[in-house]
């Protein structure tokens, strides 16, 4: 039953799941625990890591932030690095691959592990219930793996030129760990591009 406030067109809380999310009668959602979004950097002044945002799928629309550490070999064009496909946490309902906390974390890992990182931005509940996030993260891993083939999907030069496909890892924090687990199970029974 709608409240009188709802009948008058006022915004009413339908689901209050503070501190994570609040869903209103007009369909809007607040995510108070989200950290601020930060832009990618051409080169981080402290670590030398570069980052950029890319679209790897248009249907559905899926994006990622890539991190490339400062290349150290004389022939930088051919330097091969470990690849990490990373899934951010946030209880499947909030946070972003582009938030300042995840950006700083991936920037640090890329620098210290000397790894190319693709952190996948997955769709979130309640707009998209599970298994949507699992499927988005699987699509991200397949996109990265496709670079090991002759016809990669939406090829990116950082992964194509510097990714070592004999050293590819997946990981994540919090719900991202759950995403990594489910993606790993799927990879155990379903082939990835390039084997």
pLDDT, one tens digit per residue, over 129-146 is 999 999 999 999 999 999
User: Which residue range is the domain that position 181 belongs to?
Assistant: 50-188
CATH of the domain at 76: 3.40.50.1820
Residue 24 pLDDT grade (very low, low, confident, very high; cuts 50, 70, 90): confident
The answer to the question of residue 180 being in a domain is yes
The answer to the question of residue 20 being in a domain is no
The answer to the question of residue 63 being in a domain is yes
Residue 66: its pLDDT value, please?
98
CB 98 within 8 A of CB 38: yes
CB 62 within 8 A of CB 144: no
| The model scores a pTM over 0.95 | no
The answer to the question of residue 100 being in a domain is yes
pLDDT digits (tens, 9 = 90+) for 167-182: 999 999 999 999 999 9
Quote the mean pLDDT of the chain.
Answer: 90
Q: What is the average per-residue pLDDT within 39-58?
A: 96
Query: Beta strands of the chain (E only): which ranges?
Result: 13-17, 21-24, 29-30, 50-58, 61-68, 81-87, 115-121, 163-172
Residue 78: its pLDDT value, please?
74
pLDDT above 70: percentage of residues in the chain: 93
Q: Which residues contact 167 (CB under 8 A, 6 or more apart)?
A: 81, 82, 83
Q: Is the peptide bond before 136 cis (omega within 30 degrees of 0)?
A: no
The answer to the question of residue 65 being in a domain is yes
The answer to the question of residue 41 being in a domain is no
Residue 195: its pLDDT value, please?
83
**118 closest CA partner among 86, 143, 88:** 86
CB count in 10 Å sphere of residue 105: 16
DSSP at 43: S
Tally: H helices and E strands in the chain: 5, 8
Residue 1: its pLDDT value, please?
35
pLDDT digits (tens, 9 = 90+) for 91-127: 898 899 999 999 999 999 999 999 999 999 999 988 8
Note the residue count of the chain: 195
Compute the chain's Rg from CA coordinates: 19
- Tally of domains within the chain: 1
The answer to the question of residue 6 being in a domain is no
The answer to the question of residue 147 being in a domain is yes
Please determine, for residue 128, whether its predicted confidence score (pLDDT) is greater than 70. yes
């Amino acid at each position: 039953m709608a409240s009188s406030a709802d009948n008058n067109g006022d915004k009413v809380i339908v689901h209050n799941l503070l501190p994570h999310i609040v869903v209103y009668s007009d369909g809007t959602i607040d995510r108070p625990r989200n950290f601020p979004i930060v832009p990618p950097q051409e080169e981080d002044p402290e670590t030398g890591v570069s980052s950029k945002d890319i679209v790897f799928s248009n249907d559905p629309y899926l994006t990622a932030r890539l991190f490339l550490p400062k290349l150290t070999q004389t022939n930088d064009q051919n330097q091969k690095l470990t690849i990490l496909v990373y899934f951010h946490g946030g209880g499947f309902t909030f946070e972003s691959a582009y938030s300042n906390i995840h950006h700083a974390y991936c920037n640090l890992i890329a620098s210290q592990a000397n790894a190319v990182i693709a952190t996948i931005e997955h769709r979130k509940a309640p707009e998209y219930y599970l298994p949507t996030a699992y499927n988005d993260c699987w699509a991200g891993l397949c996109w990265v793996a496709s670079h090991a083939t002759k016809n990669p999907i939406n090829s990116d030069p950082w992964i194509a030129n510097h990714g070592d496909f004999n050293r590819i890892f997946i990981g994540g924090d919090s719900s991202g760990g759950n995403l990594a687990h489910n993606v790993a199970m799927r990879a155990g029974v379903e082939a990835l591009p390039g084997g």
